[in-house]
Structure 1
Amino acid sequence: MPGTLFGVGLGPGDPELITLKAARLIAATPIIAYPALPGTESIARNIAATHISASAHEIRLDIPMTRDRAPAQAAYDLGAARIAEALDCGQDVAFLCEGDPFFYGSFMYVHARLAPHHTVEVVPGVASVMAAAARAGLPLTARNEVFAVLPAPLDDKTLRGRMESANSFAIVKLGRHMPRVRALLNELGLTGRAHYIERATLPDERAVPLSDAPQSAPYFSMILVTKGADPWL
């Protein structure tokens, strides 16, 4: 019988936010796969480290972060082929993914390659947006309000329009886009309603009003904005 591929969401970084199901599967699965930036430790593996069996075989996928998508796609092709070989030999594989596998998760690229011909089960995890809201103490949306998740690399016109149409929103993938995102929020008069969170739930996390945020931001950071249409009372 072919093995099963488990796409395991690990949550935003705090190992205590791994679900019971995820912890059980990681401990019991003989092959553990995970992504990493070339030349660095895998964030996903570090989150799950205490649950990985000493006897587990590991498949590391070195995924380059470049504007050209071709190198990353080639890396996913190679990783999926290695995982498929194990599945075809009857071995289960747990693919570790920070956050939730289907919310900007690296697992979706492996899923697209393997799901048509293999049994796949997805284990959801705590998404970074939910973790950031919790750490900032900021309710995101209520009743009939519209909440949006906006990638910072969107062009200015599109980003401004989405900001204007949503009642509350998260801006993710800040990185080098931080200065222009701040400028757009300031133009719309939303700086006072914006919160900045980086590395949510990790020991070096920062959660402050946007006005107190640094001028530059790491990739693992976001801005949460609520316009205050509903006071949640």
Structure 2
Amino acid sequence: MNRAEPLSASPQSHPVTGTAYGLGIGPGEPDLITLKAYNILQKADVIAYPALEDGVSLARQIVDTHIPKGRTEIAIRIEMGKPADPIYDAAALEIGQHLAAGKTVAVLCEGDPFFYGSFMYLYGRLADAGHSVETVPGVSSMMACAAQLGAPLAAKNDVLQVIPGPLDKDRLRTQLGNTDAAAIIKLGRHFTKVRDVINELGLTDRARYIERATLDSQKMVPLADLPADATAPYFSMILIHRRGDAWR
């Protein structure tokens, strides 16, 4: 986002502006934040994060012990069932005001900002408005789930697919039927549909289920061991490898 200025430009030619950092803070365990993200968080003037309407913010909870006292905080309240664009528009304007005042803004993002992360929507708006924006990668939920399950995602010439659970049944069947390995994300209310497709394809014995990876409430089990009426939260994932284990 930063552009090199002509050598002849004086320091007074342009107003001082701050930088917005999209910080990948990992999947849930506080220690999985990177050293770079931690250092930026310590120096930031303003800290922004997504939050539900009732004020709960998993991102804020993850780094609670890392946030210095006295920082300005912006809760970006996501209203379920309502269009998100106006919410991100308003958040970008508020963050932009702090940047125009020369402040540094750290925007928290669970997992990695550019792996299905909400920060990307702020990134686009802030960058388009001419602000300085940088992204700090983080440990994604997919990597954390693989580590907790002891299930390498892919090896050799394997093709790995990331498949969102909300896809319709036919698309799910097509994607899963033509891959070596898959990470199925965003299960939630789509869990039963996804599980049915996995059963139809004969992949149940190659599937591992995990929810809330790295948190105290983490649960992981072979998919086949879940009861028939099992449900899954949004923060859950199924990993599948056709060889059972990637190293085989």
TM-score (norm 2): 0.90
The equivalent position to 2:57 in structure 1, one of 35, 38, 42, is 42
Instruction: Say whether the 8 Å CA contact 2:206–2:244 is kept in structure 1.
Output: no
* d(CA) in 2 for partners of 1:204, 1:126: 19
The equivalent position to 2:92 in structure 1, one of 62, 80, 101, is 80
Matched, 1:12 2:27: yes
* d(CA) in 1 for partners of 2:199, 2:142: 22
Matched, 1:96 2:100: no
Quote the residue 1:185 is aligned against. 198
Partner amino acid for 1:227? R
* d(CA) in 1 for partners of 2:208, 2:244: 17
Matched, 1:222 2:237: yes
* d(CA) in 1 for partners of 2:49, 2:190: 27
Partner amino acid for 2:143? M
Quote the residue 2:138 is aligned against. 125
Give CA-to-partner distance per residue, 1:173-227, whole Å, 9 cap, x none: 0001111111100000000000000000000101100012351100000100000
Instruction: Say whether the 8 Å CA contact 2:154–2:246 is kept in structure 1.
Output: no
**Larger Rg belongs to:** 2
> What stretches of structure 1 of length at least 5 have no aligned partner?
none
Give CA-to-partner distance per residue, 1:113-156, whole Å, 9 cap, x none: 10121111100000000000100000110111100000000011
Give the SS at the match of 2:79: coil
Matched, 1:33 2:19: no
* d(CA) in 2 for partners of 1:100, 1:229: 27
Equivalenced residue count is 230
Quote the residue 2:162 is aligned against. 149
Quote the residue 1:111 is aligned against. 123
Quote the residue 2:4 is aligned against. none
TM-score (norm 1): 0.96
The equivalent position to 1:194 in structure 2, one of 184, 199, 207, is 207
Quote the residue 1:60 is aligned against. 75
* d(CA) in 2 for partners of 1:40, 1:93: 20
Q: Which ranges of 4 or more aligned residues in structure 1 deviate by more than 2 Å? A: none
Give CA-to-partner distance per residue, 1:32-65, whole Å, 9 cap, x none: 0000011032111111111211121001100123
Q: Measure how far apart 1:83 and its partner are.
A: 0.1
Give the SS at the match of 1:148: strand
Give the SS at the match of 1:165: coil
> What stretches of structure 2 of length at least 5 have no aligned partner?
1-15
